[in-house]
Chains A and B, each alone.
Chain A
Amino acid sequence: MPNSPERPRRITLVRNGPVLVEGPVEVTGDDGEVWVSDRFTVALCTCRRSRRYPWCDTSHRRPTGQTHTGESRSATRTQRHDGGDDR
């Protein structure tokens, strides 16, 4: 994917979902961890629920407050949107 000042890297924000970034990417964490992906686009988790963090694993979709995986969340989903919204 050619990136240059004339053709900057495209980043797409998904409401209530990940940030999509054109790959390849190198992601660094607070503790110096490094994750690399050469996928054409990557989805970076913003909800912090992903079990494959920093990559999105669609856990942002999951209704909150559920119990079947033993996780529970304080917030309760009351409404589902559509279009650009992911939950």
Chain B
Amino acid sequence: MTTVTDPPLPRPRGPLSAAVIARLRTERGRLPPDGAIRRADPYGADLQTALYVLYELHYRGFEGVDDGLEWEAELLAVRRPLEERFLAALRADAPQTGLRDTLAALLAEPVADTGTDVSRYLDHHGGLDQLREYAALRSLYHLKEADPHAWALPRLRGRAKAGLAAIEFDEFGAGRAEDIHAQLFADLMTDLGLETGYGHYVDLAPSEALATVNLMSLLGLHRRLRGALVGHFATVEITSPPAARRLTEAMRRTRAGPAAERFYAEHVVADAVHEQVVRREVIGGLLHDEPGLEPEVAFGIHATAQVEDRLARHLLGAWQAGRGALREALPPAV
């Protein structure tokens, strides 16, 4: 019998995150004032770390932190300006393209390798070191894969609810714990000699990786952002199969191991189904019920593309320069 241990609190990356983390640890101390939050870089490490820590209270919490702090009014009061700063930046940076064109663009595979696609880079050039770094930073999401999207369920009805629930059932192993996608990812990490603890690699993750996870938490925790959450989910499912095919190849070429191949191989076929259901039933159903949400679904797609593009630029910039992409080098395979 193993007991699940709560993840440790991350290390602070600036005054905002230091104040939030100190408050969680000691339940005392001043939280950051609004002015400091308004001046912070919305995509920067400090704000993203502060948000990440506050959002994690709604998932698995932290070792030594009272579970009751999830709904502590002062922490919620500081979370709001942090996430408004992030959301305002995402909205300002999103193009105004409508949903039909946005979806069509997602479905189009670029013909040539433009040098901006992480899965193509890993397929063509990735060694085990890069695949391990990629898995470590993606573990912040994949070890809770599909969890943030489950928050949409009570906010949907009819076809959208039935479609999302069917996909989530698949993501959660269709009734078999060993097939939960988060578990398949943990198995991939074991093949790569990585630690499988939830949140284990948060201190190594660049701010660009934290932003991808914070985006889903932001969209998941606010009912008013349900349209954008559906757009996020659609983006993940639609873009997954071609990328997963390339990552399967990368895992095979580097002999990463059977579980490492399986995670991505499963996603090629599973997400080829999921993306059909998410477009037809989830987006189709939602917009049938709430046609006014169409721009929000498009915004969710744009916001996801934005944070993913930022992460891709960071990763490719580091790898092409021969550097590691994490904040510190990974320990050698365990």
Chain A residues in contact with chain B, CB under 8 A?
A: 12, 14, 17-18, 20, 38-43, 51-52, 55-58, 61-63, 66-68, 80, 82-84, 86-87
Contact = CB atoms under 8 A, between A and B. Distances in A.
A46 to B, nearest CB: 12
Nearest to B106: A61
B236 to A, nearest CB: 14
A67 B280 CA distance: 31
B269 A55 contact: yes
B276 A43 contact: yes
A84 to B, nearest CB: 8
Contacts of A14: 276
Dominant secondary structure at the B interface: helix
Taking residues whose C-beta sits less than 8 angstroms from the other chain, chain B's interface range is: 20 to 34
A40 B272 contact: no
Interface in B204-234: none
Interface centre among A12, A51, A57, A58 (most CB of B within 10 A): A58
Nearest to A50: B272
B269 A41 contact: no
A25 to B, nearest CB: 12
Contacts of A57: 241, 245, 268-269, 272
Interface of B: 100-101, 103-104, 107-109, 111-113, 166, 169-170, 174, 241-242, 245, 268-273, 275-277, 280
Given A58-B242, A82-B100, A17 B276 contact: yes
Contacts of A20: 273, 276-277
Closest 9 CB pairs of A and B: A58-B241, A66-B111, A56-B272, A55-B269, A43-B273, A40-B166, A82-B100, A58-B272, A82-B104
